[in-house]
């Protein structure tokens, strides 16, 4: 009987420790919330990745000293990417209205480089009325670099078997040093902008 109670106590203690770890001390009820809290506490340097024109992503971000709001899309998407596009249109409008283009810019990165070549991305940006001074779109052609970058940002992309993808979506705040600092869900563009401005 005592052995059984001791074994149950050990199992309960292990389960409690696992719950405490998984929820960041019970402050997060999901692994996504825990990840967002961890990034807010300790900025995450971006892995090395190169854009379609050969520039290194981190160097391109650091080059102009602006905070960058990053999302991940593909141009054939008609669901989450459309919602992200709407958020980014709102952000662009707010950057213009407040004259914040010298402090914050927007970057949409496609995870579908086979279809989203530079001309396709340019047409996509035109449809969204993106101002190139405020909002660029690019891709990471190298599959290993792209996988590492998606993993760092917590983006999961799964082919759906019909040529499209199932994926999650967020707005990521990357500081002028190229470090991931905050993550916001769809519709969280106002807070993402506030966080970006607070980093300057």
Q: Are residues 12 and 98 in the same domain?
A: no
Q: Are residues 19 and 79 in the same domain?
A: no
Residue 98: CA count within 13 A, CB half-sphere: 15
Phi, psi of 137 (to 5 degrees): -130, 140
Q: Are residues 161 and 181 in the same domain?
A: yes
Q: Are residues 103 and 162 in the same domain?
A: yes
Q: Are residues 33 and 130 in the same domain?
A: no
Q: d(Cα 193, Cα 189) in Å, to the nearest integer?
A: 6
CA 30 to chain centre: 17
What pLDDT shows up at residue 165? 87
| Structural domain count of the chain | 2
Overall average pLDDT of the 62-68 stretch: 92
Q: Are residues 67 and 105 in the same domain?
A: yes
What pLDDT shows up at residue 11? 57
Q: Are residues 89 and 159 in the same domain?
A: yes
Q: Are residues 36 and 103 in the same domain?
A: no
On the question of pLDDT at 25 being above 60, the answer is no
CATH number at residue 97: 3.40.30.10
What tens digit of pLDDT does each residue of 172-184 get?
999 999 999 999 9
Q: Are residues 189 and 111 in the same domain?
A: yes
Q: d(Cα 30, Cα 27) in Å, to the nearest integer?
A: 9
| Neighbour count for residue 135 (Cβ, 10 Å) | 21
Tell whether residue 77 is among the known ligand binding residues: yes
On the question of pLDDT at 26 being above 50, the answer is no
CA 129 to chain centre: 22
Burial status of residue 171 (CB atoms within 10 A of its CB: 0-12, 13-18, 19 or more) = buried
Q: Are residues 99 and 13 in the same domain?
A: no
Q: Whole domain around residue 103: which residue ranges? A: 44-198
List C-alpha distances in Å: 170 to 30, 82, 108, 163, 193: 15, 12, 11, 22, 13
Instruction: With cut-offs at 50, 70 and 90, classify the pLDDT of residue 3.
Output: low
Tell whether residue 81 is among the known ligand binding residues: yes
Greatest mean pLDDT among 2-6, 31-35, 59-63, 131-135 lies in 131-135
Overall average pLDDT of the 16-24 stretch: 44
Q: d(Cα 123, Cα 31) in Å, to the nearest integer?
A: 36
Q: Are residues 109 and 136 in the same domain?
A: yes
Q: Are residues 116 and 152 in the same domain?
A: yes
Q: Would strands 135-139 and 104-110 be described as parallel, antiparallel, or unpaired?
A: parallel
């Amino acid at each position: 009987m005592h052995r059984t109670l001791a074994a149950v106590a050990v199992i309960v203690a292990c389960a409690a420790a696992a719950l405490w770890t998984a929820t960041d001390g019970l402050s997060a009820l999901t692994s996504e919330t825990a990840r967002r809290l961890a990034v807010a506490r300790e900025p995450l340097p971006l892995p090395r990745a190169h854009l379609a024109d050969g520039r290194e992503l981190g160097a391109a971000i650091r080059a102009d000293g602006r905070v960058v709001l990053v999302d991940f899309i593909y141009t054939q998407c008609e669901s989450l990417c459309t919602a992200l596009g709407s958020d980014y249109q709102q952000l662009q409008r707010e950057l213009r209205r407040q004259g914040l283009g010298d402090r914050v810019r927007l970057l949409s990165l496609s995870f579908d480089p086979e279809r989203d070549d530079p001309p396709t991305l340019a047409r996509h940006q035109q449809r969204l009325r993106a101002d190139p001074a405020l909002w660029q779109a690019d891709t990471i052609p190298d599959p290993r670099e792209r996988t590492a970058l998606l993993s760092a940002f917590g983006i999961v992309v799964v082919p759906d078997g019909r040529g499209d993808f199932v994926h999650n979506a967020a707005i990521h705040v990357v500081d002028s040093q190229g470090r991931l600092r905050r993550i916001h869900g769809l519709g969280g563009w106002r807070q993402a902008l506030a966080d970006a401005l607070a980093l300057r």
